[in-house]
Structure 1
Amino acid sequence: MQKNTFTPPTPEQRCAILAEYGKDCEEMVREDKCCKITSLSRSRRWELEQMGAFPRRKYLGRNSCSWLLSDVLWWIHNPPMIDNVNNPYERRKEKALKEASQ
């Protein structure tokens, strides 16, 4: 996986990440839910999407779009290296390593 672009998960990875969150099938996530999941503003997600660092939106019609839930969850667990985006999973790993070395 490149460090500055989003790489979509494989079908097996999609199933695994959805199962981890208790979902048995794929969902389409609309704007408000995507904001809650990622904690990123609409404009910041759009900027990241244009840079190739966030999953591409799927257009449902002329005035509506959504994202695949598995893509968004995968992005949270495996985010590209981007300025101004925190990854809590990395902080947990760093904390565990620090505690193990003491």
Structure 2
Amino acid sequence: MDPNDRLINFKMVAYLTGLSRSTIWKLENNGDFPERITLSKRSIRWIESEVMQWVSVRMRIPIEQDDSIHKARAKRMEKLEQQRAL
């Protein structure tokens, strides 16, 4: 860690990334987000430069649309239409 790096709290991480707590947690568990630093039982921080680097990399990666969401929605709509037809 660079001595000039700041440790930032969750609110700042959420602000910088635009992500929710649950999304950050999922990304961390998958190893797809900078590792948190536990200062105490109730205090966690991230290294600001690592979070900013992660954001920078994510901005360069094209987002792939998840067709499974659309398929699930179409399936629900089809089921609703079938129920209405009865």
**Residue 6 (structure 2) pairs with residue 27 (structure 1):** yes
Equivalent residue for 1:75, pick from 42, 54, 68:
54
RMSD over aligned Cα, in angstroms? 2.1
Equivalent position to 1:66, from 34, 42, 45: 45
Distance in 2, matches of 1:52 and 1:68, equals 16
Larger radius of gyration: 2
Seq. identity, %: 29
1:54 aligns with 2:57: no
CA distance in 2, matches of 1:32, 1:58: 15
The normalised TM-score by structure 1 is 0.54
- Where relative contact order (Cα < 8 A, 6+ residues apart) is larger, the structure is 1
Q: Say how many residue pairs are matched.
A: 62
Greater strand proportion: 2
Write 1 or 2 for the structure with the bigger share of helix: 2
Gaps of 5+ in 2: 63-86
Runs of 4+ in 1 over 4 A off after TM superposition: none
Instruction: Give the counterpart of 2:20 among 41, 45, 55.
Output: 41
